[in-house]
């Protein structure tokens, strides 16, 4: 999408008084993704947990929700995948955000003061090379990075630190003790935008579905072959266990395409026909930072 149309889209969201939900507090990467996608003038509503975003959308408290779904260093956020299937809302957009983690604490905190570090488990995973050099630190998983920063501000103890963004440090008056501690310097998180309705247009170029197959030889191939036969580029496949059927799985698949195209429509029909479970998760404009080969 051109820069001018991006700005117009953001102005439209603000003018229509759209409310967008995100998990966490100000300074979180989810809030950053929200601002980059919808613009800084859109109304935002923060909630405590990922599922609260889905519940707020279900109860018409928000118009859209923004959620992290995948990180380039640590992989899928599996809870969000499961919630997508359970609630049946659609992915209507995505935003890829560069993530830089920092060790932050109250003013005057030094590395030798620290005994406890708080952050989201994903942030710990993305910073594991730095953290493993401090074996005496107790790593305590918390709801998200910005909420961890707020906790450190409220606790006001030099023994406690957080892994969070530079913006979170600024918002909560904290100091950066060590900067850019994530081991992958090209560390990105892909966020999805969810809504109640599909919004099909000529610009959408990415489709997400979830399928399952009978637990028999060749069944998954019977679905995947339709992508090759219809010349559709598969971008990602992620498996999640079916809770009440041991060793059987839901397969979440992203691929290029627009549902208005005949070849895509034909492929979707065949995939659904050969699946024991099929759900369309969305057709939306992919972010080129996470899909550099998208048309």
102-105, strands of its sheet edge to edge: 138-141, 116-119, 160-164, 102-105, 175-178
CA atoms within 13 A on the CB side of 241: 5
Q: Is 115 a catalytic residue?
A: no
Q: What contacts 181, CB < 8 A, 6 or more positions away?
A: 101, 102, 103, 127, 130, 131, 163
CA distance 126 to 187: 8
Concatenated DSSP letters of 149-204 = HHHHHHH--TTEEEEE-HHHHHHTT-EEEE----S-TT-EEEEEEEESS----TT-
Which residue is catalytic, options 189, 213, 250, 255? 189
Contact of 190 with 287, CB cutoff 8 Å: yes
CA distance 279 to 208: 9
CA distances from 172 to 90, 146, 161 (A): 34, 9, 13
Q: Is 191 a catalytic residue?
A: yes
CA distances from 170 to 145, 177, 292 (A): 13, 13, 32
Q: Which residues are catalytic?
A: 189, 191
């Amino acid at each position: 999408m051109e820069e001018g149309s991006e700005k117009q889209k953001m102005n439209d969201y603000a003018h229509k008084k759209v409310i967008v939900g995100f998990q966490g507090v100000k300074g979180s990467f989810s809030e950053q993704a929200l601002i980059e996608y919808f613009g800084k003038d859109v109304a935002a509503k923060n909630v405590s947990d990922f599922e609260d975003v889905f519940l707020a959308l279900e109860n018409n408290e928000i118009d859209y929700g923004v959620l992290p779904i995948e990180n380039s260093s640590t992989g899928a956020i599996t809870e969000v995948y499961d919630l997508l299937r359970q609630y049946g809302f659609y992915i209507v957009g995505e935003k890829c955000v560069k993530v830089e983690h920092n060790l932050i604490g109250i003013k005057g905190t030094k590395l030798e003061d620290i005994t406890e570090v708080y952050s989201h488990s994903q942030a710990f995973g993305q910073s594991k090379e730095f953290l493993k050099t401090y074996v005496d630190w107790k790593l305590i998983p918390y709801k998200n990075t910005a909420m961890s920063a707020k906790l450190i501000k409220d606790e006001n103890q030099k023994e406690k630190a957080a892994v969070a963004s530079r913006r979170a440090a600024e918002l909560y008056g904290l100091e950066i003790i060590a900067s850019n501690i994530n081991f992958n310097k090209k560390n990105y998180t892909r966020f999805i935008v969810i809504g109640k309705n599909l919004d099909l247009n000529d610009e959408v170029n990415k489709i997400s579905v979830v399928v399952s197959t009978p637990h028999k030889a060749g069944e998954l191939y019977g679905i995947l072959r339709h992508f090759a036969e219809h010349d559709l580029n598969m971008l990602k496949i992620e498996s999640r266990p079916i809770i009440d059927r041991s060793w059987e799985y839901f397969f979440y698949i992203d691929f290029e395409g627009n549902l208005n195209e005949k070849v895509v429509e034909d492929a979707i029909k065949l995939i659904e026909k050969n699946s024991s479970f099929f759900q369309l998760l969305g057709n939306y404009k992919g972010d080129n930072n996470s899909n550099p080969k998208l048309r």
